[in-house]
Structure 1
Amino acid sequence: MSYLISKTAAETTCPRCRRQTLSAIEEGIPCRVDRAPLTTPAAEITALLDGRHTFVLTPRGYLIHRDAGRIAGNTIPGTIHAEHQCTTKAHQLTIDEMIGQAK
């Protein structure tokens, strides 16, 4: 018997665009969302139309994917966050940044 694991969200930095994100494993799938929550239903609709999934960050720190049923029911408490999408060009790391010696 196998189980899909979920792990609580942790603050991370996107390795590509260097923006602050939240990363977690949700039902066995790694996910990364923008740190700033979506504050209106219109913001969630815009994210969905842009092809980004949305997640609820629960009070216990788990990210839960919002499918059509969860969006319609809106019963899971927490803040809503959009899947992270890089908006800037990739940041070329220097050798110092790669070994942790950046100033």
Structure 2
Amino acid sequence: MSSMPISERKLMIPALCAASEMPNGFIPTSDLIVRLEDIVHPTGEDNKILAGRHDTKFSQKVRNLVSHRSGSNTMFSLGLAVYIKDAKGIQITDTGRQFIKNVI
């Protein structure tokens, strides 16, 4: 990917793909961050450490992707994934699996 910062919206399809590769389609948020770093290879601004923290802007974007689930047009509001609160991660739905088959 380019050195332009990546948006949360552009992380949706890679996140769904990462979940689809996991047993039962579930991936904890902490594993999702690592997996998306491997897929996206964040650079520039996305690699900067947040002030007073030990994590990057990119990892914050992944956490926001998960935490902003009540917004419109999110993978959650579209029925592509569900958040599993007790396990702190996302699970792709059958609709989400069909969606990624159609776009990839």
TM-score normalised by the chain length of structure 1: 0.29
Q: TM-score, normalised by structure 2?
A: 0.29
Q: Which has the higher strand share?
A: 1
Higher RCO structure (Cα 8 Å, ≥6 apart) = 2
Structure having the higher Rg: 1
